[in-house]
């Protein structure tokens, strides 16, 4: 058990929307580290999946499926000034919930910016409007001019969320190990300047999940270590990545945005069918899926120097995800079904028998080549640290807990992203739940061992070009 103890006293009401694997896993953390009574909490969920967990902790659970027609009727009587709305749902508009919280004077946190149901794949919407870029721009547009509204923390799970803190620690590690005098940046421009000074070219959120369930995937079933519905939704969105100033080869299926931060581009294909080469310390070289995530955009945006339309510096940033093996098989079957979800879905948790989730940031292009920094958390460690969690969920729920505490302690910070928060403070809250937190250098590049089997289209002069990472 973590030695953090009670970190903050909260006297309001906390309403949790959604109670899947993340909601069930974060509930004991909230009660462990926030001084509040179970009767101060209320859970609203669309099904009965987690009712037994809620009852075991003495927390009320109501079966309500929120939609655009009932959201105000259901939430406004339950949320008032100083209360907290913790959004862990899928298919419920984050922008609608944030706007409601601002009217009510309530605090807010989510792990992903969600549209209403169908918004990810609505064929009536242009592709650009189905991206996380568009969802992020809409959420950031809710900021007040004075930036002093009720705190609303966007996208604060493991990734997006925790990985933004890994990134800042990794930048300081590389500066220390390469003899770059940088002090400790305190501004957005300071962190971007440090990344440029280190010649950082590309950043992967590089993750390998090796957890295995007692029962393997069956035909016609989608198996995952976290929400199947959420994973399929984001996997069917266009692949997105922050686009760096060093890139010389624009993807033939790529497209740019014409408004907003312009920090990212998107590809004309789903992330679940787009693979990239990456590396983690335990797994070594691997192929991951380029799944769209908000951190790919926010990190690239926060590390931009100069005019966003024509920046003088920005690294390329994207997620490179190798989920558990049964989830990979599930994705291949999903693609064969033309992206129509299998009839049966199963989330692995209590039936996991072995494995780890290795989640971190891989920073490339600096003087020492490549550096990975992150969490290596095993299923056994996760179970010993907190009930109702797997290795995958605990990396998320620890960050949710930390973000909720920060928002309660900073109630008038308006709409913020993980990149705006104090990274050392947030890492200190999360670290007891992350297993082995390590940093590792490597001489790996995406060109290692390439070109002997086929005449591949690569850029041999610059290993850190995106075309070298992408799997044809």
How many H helices and E strands in the chain? Answer: 14, 23
Name the residue among 339, 351, 336, 340 with its Cα closest to residue 217.
351
Residue 189's pLDDT is 97
Continuous segment of H or E residues that includes residue 296: helix 294-302
pTM above 0.85, yes or no: yes
Residue 332's pLDDT is 97
Check if the beta carbon of residue 295 is closer than 8 Å to that of residue 205: yes
Continuous segment of H or E residues that includes residue 72: helix 71-75
Name the residue among 327, 114, 160 with its Cα closest to residue 228.
327
Q: Where are the beta strands (DSSP E) in 398-445?
A: 415-416, 436-442
**3-class DSSP state of 336:** helix
Residue 108's pLDDT is 98
Cβ atoms < 10 Å from Cβ of 99: 17
Check if the beta carbon of residue 293 is closer than 8 Å to that of residue 111: no
Quick one: how far is CA 73 from the chain centroid?
30
Quick one: how far is CA 264 from the chain centroid?
16
Q: What is the DSSP letter of 418?
A: G
Name the residue among 219, 211, 236, 226 with its Cα closest to residue 289.
236
**3-class DSSP state of 467:** helix
Q: How many CA atoms lie within 13 A of 174 on its CB side?
A: 30
Residue 183's pLDDT is 86
Q: How many CA atoms lie within 13 A of 417 on its CB side?
A: 23
Check if the beta carbon of residue 370 is closer than 8 Å to that of residue 442: yes
Q: How far apart are CA 98 and CA 120, in angstroms?
A: 19
Residue 352 burial by Cβ neighbours in a 10 Å radius (0-12, 13-18, 19+): buried
Name the residue among 177, 187, 320, 125 with its Cα closest to residue 242.
320
SS (H, E, C) 347-363: ECCCCEEECEEEEEEEE
Cβ atoms < 10 Å from Cβ of 224: 24
Residue 468 φ/ψ, nearest 5 degrees: -75, -30
* Structural domain boundaries in the chain: 8-153, 162-391+431-469
Residue 406 burial by Cβ neighbours in a 10 Å radius (0-12, 13-18, 19+): buried
Residue 452's pLDDT is 65
CATH number among 1.10.3720.10, 3.90.580.10, 3.40.50.720, 2.40.160.20, domain 8-153: 3.40.50.720
Check if the beta carbon of residue 243 is closer than 8 Å to that of residue 314: yes
Tens digit of pLDDT at every position of the chain (472 positions): 456 899 999 999 999 999 999 999 999 999 999 999 999 999 999 988 899 999 999 999 999 999 999 999 999 999 999 999 999 999 999 999 999 999 999 999 999 999 998 878 778 889 999 999 999 999 999 999 999 999 999 999 999 999 999 999 999 999 999 999 888 999 999 999 999 999 999 999 999 999 999 999 999 999 999 999 999 999 999 999 999 999 999 999 999 999 999 999 999 999 999 999 999 999 999 999 999 999 999 999 999 999 999 999 999 999 999 999 999 999 999 999 999 999 999 999 999 999 999 999 999 999 999 999 999 999 999 999 999 999 999 999 999 999 999 999 999 999 999 999 999 999 999 999 999 999 999 999 999 988 766 767 899 999 999 999 999 8
Which fold would CATH assign to domain 162-391+431-469? Dihydrodipicolinate Reductase; domain 2 (3.30.360)
């Amino acid at each position: 058990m973590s030695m953090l103890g009670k970190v903050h006293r909260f006297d309001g009401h906390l309403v949790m929307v959604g109670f899947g694997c993340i909601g069930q896993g974060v509930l004991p953390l909230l009660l462990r580290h926030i001084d509040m009574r179970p009767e101060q909490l209320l859970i609203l969920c669309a099904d009965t999946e987690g009712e037994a967990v809620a009852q075991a902790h003495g927390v009320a659970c109501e079966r309500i499926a929120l939609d655009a027609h009932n959201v105000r009727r259901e939430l406004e009587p339950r949320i008032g000034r100083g209360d907290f709305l913790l959004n862990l749902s899928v298919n419920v508009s984050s922008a609608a919930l944030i706007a409601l919280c601002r009217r009510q004077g309530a605090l807010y946190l989510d792990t992903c910016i969600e549209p209403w149901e169908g918004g990810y794949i609505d064929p009536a919407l242009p592709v650009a409007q189905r991206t996380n870029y568009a969802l992020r721009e809409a959420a950031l547009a809710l900021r007040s001019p004075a930036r002093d509204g009720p705190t609303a923390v966007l996208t604060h799970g493991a990734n997006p969320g925790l990985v933004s803190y890994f990134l800042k620690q990794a930048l300081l590690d590389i500066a220390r190990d390469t003899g770059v005098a940088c002090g400790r940046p305190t501004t957005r421009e300071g962190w971007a300047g440090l990344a440029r000074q280190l010649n950082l070219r590309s950043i992967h959120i590089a993750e390998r999940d090796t957890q295995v369930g007692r029962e393997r995937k069956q035909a016609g079933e989608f198996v995952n270590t976290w929400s199947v519905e959420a994973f399929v939704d984001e996997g069917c969105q266009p692949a997105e990545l922050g686009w760096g100033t060093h890139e010389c080869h624009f993807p033939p299926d790529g497209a740019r945005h014409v408004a907003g931060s312009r920090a990212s581009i998107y590809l004309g294909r789903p992330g679940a069918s787009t693979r990239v080469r990456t590396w983690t310390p335990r797994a070594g070289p691997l192929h991951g899926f380029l799944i769209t995530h908000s951190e790919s955009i926010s990190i690239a945006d926060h590390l931009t120097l100069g005019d966003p339309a024509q920046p003088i510096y920005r690294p390329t940033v994207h997620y490179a995800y190798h989920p558990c093996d049964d989830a990979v098989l599930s994705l291949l079957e999903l693609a064969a079904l033309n992206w129509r979800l299998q009839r049966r879905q199963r989330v692995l948790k209590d039936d996991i028998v072995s494995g780890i989730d290795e989640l971190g940031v891989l920073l490339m292009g600096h003087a020492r080549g490549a550096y990975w920094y992150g969490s290596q958390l095993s299923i056994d460690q996760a179970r010993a640290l907190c009930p109702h969690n797997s290795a995958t969920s605990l990396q998320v729920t620890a960050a949710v807990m930390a973000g909720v505490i920060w928002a309660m302690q900073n109630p008038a910070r308006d709409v913020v992203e993980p990149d705006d928060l104090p990274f050392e403070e947030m890492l200190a809250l999360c670290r007891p739940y992350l297993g082995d937190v390590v940093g590792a250098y490597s001489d790996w590049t995406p060109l290692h061992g390439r070109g002997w089997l086929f005449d591949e289209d690569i850029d041999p002069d610059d290993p850190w070009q995106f075309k070298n990472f992408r799997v044809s």
